[in-house]
């Protein structure tokens, strides 16, 4: 079997506040149940090349519980995060840092292909594939209890997974929104400088138009949207969602989260969504650990 058809395991060791073992692995997209073949190929990042993930084990003992970390746009599965220490040391679970298809931009060729080849339909498929990837890795590793932590655009995959699948029982979502179409519509607001904003506005026009059209019940890529639409009956009514965010966030607005919570309760009978908001600047920024930590630990302590 080729490397692309099999699991590849490489043992590495690193320091995460205290001594712990990290195991780096990869899984072929061909092994992922429900994987959607994305076009264009985008340097095989979505279709053929193995997708990487790193498991950091509990610092004491072993566990069949795991928390998957889904980073934001342009992040990386190798990036360090204080949440990892909380999971491995305080909670005693495995911590899985997952390379999200196309969301992990780690080489120039991939970056160029992303800018040229991506469209709203591609992005919808990527959220779908990341959701399926969480399920596949959980199955391969034989985890019995699974949670996700989704940051910013990684949170979009988290909400798609916990609403539409039945593997993940808890999802902690930070500076994100369940309104995926709204996040797509406001894509250009990620950029700060005047030049960047103008450039982003031109490049993201299709995203802004598609986001509005999806929200109005239409959309050119509606068939892809139907695979990730989180405004549906949950697959698991006992699943729990915790949103923490900046009430002044210009992209992932607190109003969109509160609207989703009320809508899901009224129309789908799903009441397991909690919201904790931080009063920060009018930017899309990471929340202070001091704000997130007690909420995070309390939410996941009984996974």
Q: Identify the domain containing residue 283 by its residue range.
A: 3-300
Question: Quick one: CA dihedral 154, 233, 136, 50, positive or negative?
Answer: negative
* pTM of the predicted structure, to 2 decimals: 0.86
Domain count, the chain: 1
- Structure tokens given for 252: 């992932």
- Residue 230's pLDDT is what? 93
Beta bridge partners of 13: 21
Q: Which residues, in sequence order, are CB contacts of 97 under 8 Å at separation 6+?
A: 53, 54, 56, 69, 71, 77, 78, 79, 81, 84
pLDDT digits (tens, 9 = 90+) for 232-282: 999 999 999 999 988 888 888 888 899 999 999 999 999 999 999 988 888
**What's the pLDDT band for 101 if we cut at 50, 70, 90?**
confident
The pLDDT-based confidence of 4 (bands split at 50, 70, 90) is: very low
pLDDT band per the 50, 70, 90 thresholds, residue 5: very low
Identify the CATH number of the domain in which residue 67 sits.
Answer: 3.40.50.1820
Q: Please give the share of the chain, as a percent, with pLDDT higher than 70.
A: 81
């Amino acid at each position: 079997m080729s490397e692309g058809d099999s699991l590849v395991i490489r043992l590495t060791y690193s320091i995460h506040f205290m001594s712990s073992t990290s195991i780096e692995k990869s899984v072929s997209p061909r092994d992922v149940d429900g994987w959607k073949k994305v076009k264009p190929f985008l340097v095989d990042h979505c279709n053929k090349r193995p997708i990487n993930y790193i498991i950091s084990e509990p610092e004491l003992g072993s566990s069949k519980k795991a928390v998957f970390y889904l980073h934001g746009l342009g992040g990386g599965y190798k990036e360090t995060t204080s949440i990892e220490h909380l999971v491995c040391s305080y909670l005693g679970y495995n911590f899985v840092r997952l390379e999200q298809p196309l969301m992990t931009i780690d080489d120039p060729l991939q970056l160029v292909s992303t800018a040229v080849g991506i469209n709203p339909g591609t992005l919808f498929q990527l959220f779908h594939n990341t959701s399926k990837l969480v399920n596949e890795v959980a199955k391969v590793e034989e985890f019995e209890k699974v949670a996700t932590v989704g940051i910013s655009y990684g949170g979009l995959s988290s909400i798609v997974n916990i609403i539409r699948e039945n593997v993940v029982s808890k999802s902690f979502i930070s500076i994100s929104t369940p309104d995926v179409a709204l996040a797509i519509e406001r894509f250009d607001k990620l950029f700060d400088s005047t030049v960047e904003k103008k450039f982003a506005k031109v490049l993201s026009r299709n995203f802004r138009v598609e986001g509005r059209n999806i929200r109005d019940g239409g959309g050119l890529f509606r068939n892809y949207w139907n695979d990730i639409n989180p405004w549906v009956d949950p697959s698991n009514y006992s699943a729990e969602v915790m949103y923490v965010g900046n009430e002044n966030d210009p992209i992932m607005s607190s109003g969109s989260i509160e609207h989703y919570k009320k809508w899901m309760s009224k129309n789908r009978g799903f009441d397991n969504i909690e919201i904790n908001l931080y009063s920060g600047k009018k930017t899309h920024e990471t929340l202070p650990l001091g704000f997130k930590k007690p909420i995070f630990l309390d939410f996941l302590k009984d996974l």
